[in-house]
Structure 1
Amino acid sequence: MNIKAEQAPAYFQNVECPPITLIYGAEPLLNLEALHAAKQRAKDDGFSERQRLDSGSGFNWQQLGNEIDTPSLFSPKRLIELVIEDKNLNKKAADALSALSGHQFKHTRLIIYAPDLEKPESKAWVKNLFTKDNLVIQSQTLFPKAFAKQIEQRLHHAKLHLTESAYVRLMDYSQGNLLAGQQAIDRLAIHPQHKDIISAELLVDLLADMSQFGAFALSDALIMQNWLEAYHIACRLEAERNNEAVLITWSLHRDCTVMLQLKNAIPKDHESIFKQYRIFYQKKGITAKPQGIFPAGF
């Protein structure tokens, strides 16, 4: 069976942990949340002992089957978490995993956490191992619409209420990075004013000491030609965070690249440029008019 990583927490509320679970895909936070949900379900099912195996150099793949079959000395049920950091498996590893299809898993559950695996669904060992009794959990790259849905769901879960301008600020801050967005939401949720309707100004204040936000706020001010605001932000960054030069340079370079592409593209191609650089909502209206930002004759 195959499910999406974002479905895993709800799935494991109602379904027991299968003998073997594979977790992989492009979105790190969704992978980690799926792993946590799978481990919690295994614990709830009585697999109270957990053993972690890292398939780094020196890992004995031939002993994997023995680990599955050997009863634990400490608990009648055991969860084995196999962490694979490789993008592709060699023949020895693939053969060892494929051979697990012949094991009973009476007292053991196996979670294979391999976030970087490339197209495992096309591999023979996956086709052999993941029948209807086992589970594959995959995360996929979150494009703007799916990313926005994730952020909205997480805001709702945290019982946070943002004005539209604050929401746009949060989306621009996250830059398509779900982990950054979740960290911002977690920070907002523990603030004394978190029960209020959060405005853009309050959002900036609450997140002011998070390193990315200052750099992106400076970028926004420059694009909007708010020179005084940009000056104040730059002064604050210089005084408080003297290690932001690289991030600021990257952010300005990115904005200039986007505006140059928009300037040289026909209007119908603008949306694909926005999607490529993960630019959301109101900021589109800013960057879509680069002729007002570049000097005359540029």
Structure 2
Amino acid sequence: MAKIRAEQLAAAVKKNLAPVYFITGDEPLIVQECCDTIRQAAREQGFSERELHHTDTHFSWDELYNSANALSLFADKKIIEIRIHNGKPADAGSKAIVEYCSSPNDDTLLLLVSPKIDSRSQKSKWFTAIEKVGATVQVWPIGIPQMPRWVDQRLKAAGLHADSEAIDILCARTEGNLLAAVQEIEKLKLAAEDNFIDAQLMTAAVMDSARYDIFGLVDKAIYGDSRSAATSLQGLRSEGTEPLTLLWALTREIRSLNNIKEAMDTGESFDAAARKNGVWEKRKPLFKAALKRIKPRQLQDLIRKAALADRVTKGVGTGNVWNILLDLTLGLAGMPVLTAKTQRLEFRS
């Protein structure tokens, strides 16, 4: 069998249940859901017993041999689940996995779970042995760009529909935390009267994941309240907010302002341009005031500075990302960046 993507797993196990599965990745929610999917499919096929092992200091890979060969007193079929804590089964584990995969037990399903493994491990004998008789599922993290699509899919799976602005709000307020997003979606099922969620309902229903709200920071900046926006940025930093999340929120508004300005320069009305760029009705006065305050050249400078911040967060640019985020925040508030006043506001590393 070949590699299976997490989103394909449910269909794959219904079609054919493999004797061995290896789930690897650093996204706990998706890893857990993949395991649940396999367990549920196995239970439906008579695997009613489950043994769980962790490869800590007290674990011996002999337990795999013993469990696979032991007769159960309570069930005909069982699941042996082994959590490999560091993704490396070592020599003893590699030997045990290879030997098991050479002749898997029809009455046993082996489920191996580990954090993300490196490319070297994917070329190992034990990994190759699993691929020959079973299936591997590599769980990739959901990044900021993929989060809106993932949230939209989860909402639809819950019987809900939301506009793009509402989805963006949920993404920002859960800050890439998939478990938090799923929990909020469960609450939204109770709040949506007609199964449709707009930005206003989303704002009211979703709990802020931080005391200093990311959207509050952005609105303060667009409003022109540079001091309060800078304070919110410092608060979000102190609460451990990821710089990439803040960069996404600030860049989104900067690009929206620039797109609206360019559309208006070609003769399009503000309302039409704002609607195309996802600016909902209650925020239009903020954007209209910001466009009067911020010059087009400033917007272009902010877009370039946002690109620099993106490179810094990825390790391919130089600079202090928090100082760049401060420049973006103050620039969005209409203050020229890199002035003496800006320098006095810079964060200390």
- TM over 0.5, shorter chain: yes
The CA deviation at 1:47 is: 0.7
Compared with structure 1, are the counterparts of its residues 106 and 31 closer, same or farther at alpha carbon in structure 2 (3 Å cutoff)?
same
The CA deviation at 1:176 is: 3.1
TM-score, normalised with respect to structure 1 = 0.76
Among candidates 217, 220, 226, match of residue 218 of structure 2: 220
Compared with structure 1, are the counterparts of its residues 146 and 253 closer, same or farther at alpha carbon in structure 2 (3 Å cutoff)?
closer
| Residue in structure 2 matched with residue 162 of structure 1 by the alignment | 162
Matched residue SS, 2:47: coil
Question: In 2, Cα distance between the equivalents of 1:171 and 1:60?
Answer: 42
Please say if 1:41 is aligned against 2:41.
Answer: yes
Please say if 1:99 is aligned against 2:99.
Answer: yes
The CA deviation at 1:144 is: 4.3
CA contact (8 A) 1:212 1:247 kept: no
CA contact (8 A) 2:243 2:313 kept: no
TM-score, normalised with respect to structure 2 = 0.66
The CA deviation at 1:214 is: 5.7
Larger radius of gyration: 2
CA contact (8 A) 1:162 1:199 kept: yes
The CA deviation at 1:195 is: 2.5
Question: In 2, Cα distance between the equivalents of 1:83 and 1:38?
Answer: 15
Question: In 1, Cα distance between the equivalents of 2:74 and 2:203?
Answer: 51
Q: Which amino acid is the alignment partner of residue 221 of structure 1?
A: D
Compared with structure 1, are the counterparts of its residues 145 and 275 closer, same or farther at alpha carbon in structure 2 (3 Å cutoff)?
farther
| Residue in structure 2 matched with residue 24 of structure 1 by the alignment | 24
Compared with structure 1, are the counterparts of its residues 247 and 39 closer, same or farther at alpha carbon in structure 2 (3 Å cutoff)?
farther
Q: What pairs up with 1:1-298 in 2 under 5 angstroms?
A: 1-15=2-16, 17-119=17-119, 120-131=121-132, 133-191=133-191, 193-208=192-207, 210-212=208-210, 215-225=213-223, 227=225, 249-251=239-241, 255=246, 266=304, 269=307, 291-293=331-333, 295-296=335-336, 297=339, 298=342
Question: In 1, Cα distance between the equivalents of 2:215 and 2:146?
Answer: 24
CA contact (8 A) 2:224 2:333 kept: no
Compared with structure 1, are the counterparts of its residues 194 and 28 closer, same or farther at alpha carbon in structure 2 (3 Å cutoff)?
farther
Compared with structure 1, are the counterparts of its residues 95 and 194 closer, same or farther at alpha carbon in structure 2 (3 Å cutoff)?
farther
| Deviation digits for residues 220-257 of structure 1 (CA, Å, limit 9, x no counterpart) | 33332375xx79xx8xxxxxxxxxx6766544977489
| Residue in structure 2 matched with residue 239 of structure 1 by the alignment | none
Question: In 2, Cα distance between the equivalents of 1:84 and 1:217?
Answer: 39
Compared with structure 1, are the counterparts of its residues 24 and 188 closer, same or farther at alpha carbon in structure 2 (3 Å cutoff)?
same
The CA deviation at 1:275 is: 9.3
Matched residue SS, 1:52: strand
Compared with structure 1, are the counterparts of its residues 246 and 151 closer, same or farther at alpha carbon in structure 2 (3 Å cutoff)?
closer
CA contact (8 A) 2:148 2:168 kept: no
CA contact (8 A) 2:21 2:130 kept: no
Q: Which amino acid is the alignment partner of residue 295 of structure 1?
A: M
Structure 2 gaps of 5+ residues are 252-299, 316-326, 343-349
Matched residue SS, 2:166: helix
Q: Comparing 117-126 with 245-254, which one deviates more in the overlay?
A: 245-254
Structure with more contact order per residue of length (Cα contacts < 8 Å, sep ≥ 6): 1
The CA deviation at 1:202 is: 1.9
- Identity across matched positions, percent: 21
Compared with structure 1, are the counterparts of its residues 146 and 114 closer, same or farther at alpha carbon in structure 2 (3 Å cutoff)?
same
| Residue in structure 1 matched with residue 290 of structure 2 by the alignment | none
CA contact (8 A) 2:224 2:334 kept: no
Question: In 1, Cα distance between the equivalents of 2:224 and 2:197?
Answer: 23
Compared with structure 1, are the counterparts of its residues 194 and 154 closer, same or farther at alpha carbon in structure 2 (3 Å cutoff)?
farther
